[in-house]
Amino acid sequence: MAGFSWFTLVKYGGVLIAAIIVGNWFLAEVKKNNRKQQPWYKPYLSVPGLIILAAIGLPLIYFLIERLL
């Protein structure tokens, strides 16, 4: 198989495990938010919510800047 290496597999595995951890952390914040009956946006202002927003927003911002320049 062309381009296969164990190092690449380890890198992808690490990213997948990090995504699972942040996702579960965010889900715990959402459940805590629902128990306390706080506004829907409150979990997005927590640490895992900001990590997720940055992961979604930074590539979009990069793409827009590259298109404008």
**Do the beta carbons of residue 22 and residue 51 sit within 8 Å?**
yes
Q: How many domains does the chain have?
A: 1
* Interacting residues of 4 by C-beta distance below 8 A, sequence separation 6+: none
DSSP label at 16? Answer: H
Would residue 55 count as lying in a domain? yes
- Residue 18 is predicted with a pLDDT of 96
Residue 4: pLDDT band (50, 70, 90) is confident
Domain that holds residue 44: 38-69
- Residue 2 is predicted with a pLDDT of 62
Would residue 13 count as lying in a domain? no
Would residue 59 count as lying in a domain? yes
Would residue 46 count as lying in a domain? yes
Question: Whole-prediction pTM value?
Answer: 0.80
Would residue 56 count as lying in a domain? yes
DSSP label at 2? Answer: T
What confidence tens digit (pLDDT) does each residue in 22-44 have?
999 999 999 999 999 999 999 99
Would residue 23 count as lying in a domain? no
